[in-house]
Amino acid sequence: MIWILHSNAEIIHSVQRDEIDIPDISGNPVKVFWQVCEKYPDELIGWMDVDLDIEVTSNWNEIFHHDLIMASFPVKSKYIPDEIGYIDQLPFINPDYSVRYPTWQMSTDVGGIAGKVALRFRDILYGIKDFGYLLNSIAKIGQQNSLFCYSVPELVKDTSFEKKVHSASTQELFEFVGQHYKRIRLFLLIFCLIRYENRFPLFSFFSSLFKKSYFKQEIDLSSLQVKTTSSSKDQKSIDVIIPTMGRPEHLHNVLKDLASQTLLPQKVIIVEQDPNENSNTKLDFIKTSEWPFLIIHHFIHKTGACNARNLAMKEVKSDYIFFADDDLRFSEDLLKRSLSEMERMNVDCLNLNCILPEGKTIFPRIKQWGAFGSGTSVVRSEFALKCEFSELLEHGFGEDIDFGMQLRSKGCDIIYHPDITTIHLKAPVGGFRSISKDKWKKEGIEPKPSPTMMILIKKYYNPYMGKGYKAELFFRFYAKQSVKNPWIYIKKMKERWQLSDKIASQLLTHGKQ
């Protein structure tokens, strides 16, 4: 391992290998970084700010268990300011620093990346002069190209330092947004700074419009094989959870696909729902057929996928859970390939590629995922069983987002895999999202956004993210509604936002809809 020891990401203190200084390497941190990567491509390249008196742990080989991992930890500082939340509300923007958390936001305090991986970015990023800007650019671009990026407290022995924003100026923030996002985001950023902070950084705004864009830049990392050092060769078990309502034929087909798997599930836990208390099960085929796995069947009269999945999780005993919708179709190697890939990459949650029958794959690369598919994901049970689907979000939207955020707060990353696919039939009958919008109307006003979305904002967004979401919602929704007088529109939208906020606060306080 090679260490780049610097002071405040501005001055190189030394470059070391096995605590011995390496001669003939000099310059600013960026220049030294590229020199070291070029000279030692097969080594892990670490960096550390010597002014912080950091003591690293002995866990680095476990943390960097394959080449496609980039990790850092903001002992005292992070590069990108929180104002990035004005234009980005993905989970990577607001990390939980108490656990290993997926984020492209890198700190110059301490971290590392494989030399040969960093070299793949050199040609497009060679003109960058600031070390913090460079590390964040590598991670931001890399995360879209199969690089796994994390904040990892286990890098250091003492994580009790107070966090603060580091050196990125307003100018650098605008440049970063201009180079790594769609240009339209610059307009949203300048609006939010003017609207919410009474700041007018017009020069930064205009100059950033003409910076070279790295947005959707493709970096080929496919030849760098993931060979994790911590995978297990032991056979793993898996249970399947399926909530269902009014789709017996589709569910029957799902069971047939499961019965043909090369790796059979231990149990298939079905929670059938029918709001009619005098009704009988429509799933007689689960009793009359000889299935090659145990079927546990709950027939209940309370509807809702959140309650159903929570009930089913109480039956889980296997190493993994496949959360499945009741209208999927998939190949016979789906479960075996899923567990094999999770072991290969040493990840704890795999979001499978869910496509429509006539659809196509939109994202072609393995990548850290900003969402969670509650009907098409495989999760290690030790993480999933520490979480639950929030019944505050029952019958609405957002329960899968909430569950994904709970997983991340437990240190479980969510990885999307394009090559393991399910076909989602989108059955026209059945389903759970049946809540009426009229339920939340007050004096003719309909809340906007939905109170379930407002719950997620309150739970998981920092203040910058919440304000950025609000501003973008107001702009986007204007073209979709009939009121064209902007002053009347803004007044009505404020009323709808306030109503949503009030309902969400009541739901969070009283714990039910």
In this prediction, residues 435-450 reach a mean pLDDT of: 77
The Cα 474–Cα 298 span in angstroms is 43
User: Would you state the pLDDT for residue 159?
Assistant: 86
Of 152, 85, 80, 83, the closest CA to residue 113 belongs to 152
Q: What percent of the chain is predicted at pLDDT more than 90? A: 89
Q: Is the peptide bond before 449 cis (omega within 30 degrees of 0)?
A: yes
Residue 359: the pLDDT is 86
What is the pLDDT averaged over residues 347-363?
A: 94
Q: What is the pLDDT of residues 246-271, one digit of tens each?
A: 999 999 999 999 999 999 999 999 99
Confidence at 243, pLDDT banded by 50, 70, 90: very high
- Express as a percent the part of the chain with pLDDT over 70: 95
pTM above threshold 0.85: yes
Would you say 161 and 74 are in contact if contact means Cβ atoms under 8 Å apart? no
The mean pLDDT of the chain is: 94
The tens digit of pLDDT for each residue in 70-95 reads 999 999 999 999 999 999 999 999 99
Stronger pLDDT, 428 or 368, i.e. the higher one: 368
Of the listed ranges 60-64, 292-296, 395-399, the one predicted with least confidence = 395-399
Q: Where are the beta strands (DSSP E) in 100-177?
A: 101-102, 110-114, 148-151, 164-165
Position 210 pLDDT exceeds 80: yes
The answer to whether residue 235 scores a pLDDT higher than 90 is: no
* 431 token code pair: 């389903």
Query: Position of tokens 């000889």?
Result: 290
Domains of the chain, residue spans: 2-208, 238-424, 437-510
Indicate whether 513 pLDDT > 70.
Answer: no
Say if residue 231's pLDDT is above 60: no
Say whether pLDDT at 436 is over 60.
no
Contact 150, 119 (CB under 8 A): no
**pLDDT computed for residue 65 by the predictor:** 94
pLDDT at 434: 53
Q: Determine how β-strand 415-424 pairs with β-strand 328-329.
A: antiparallel
Q: In terms of Cα–Cα distance, which of 26, 109, 31, 103 is closest to 70?
A: 103
- In this predicted structure, what is the pLDDT of residue 432? 63
Give me the pLDDT at residue 64, please.
97
pLDDT given for residue 201 in this prediction: 98
| Model confidence at 55: pLDDT above 60 | yes
Q: Which of 31, 151, 153, 26 minimizes the C-alpha distance to 93?
A: 151
The predicted structure's pLDDT at residue 512: 60
Alpha-helix residue ranges (DSSP H) falling in 271-391: 285-288, 305-313, 334-345, 381-384
**Is pLDDT of 281 > 90?**
yes
| Cα–Cα distance, 75 to 52 (Å, whole number) | 8
Per CATH, the homologous superfamily of domain 238-424 is: Spore Coat Polysaccharide Biosynthesis Protein SpsA; Chain A (3.90.550.10)
22 band by pLDDT with thresholds 50, 70 and 90: very high
Backbone CA torsion sign across 334, 339, 344, 347: positive
pLDDT at 230 over 70: no
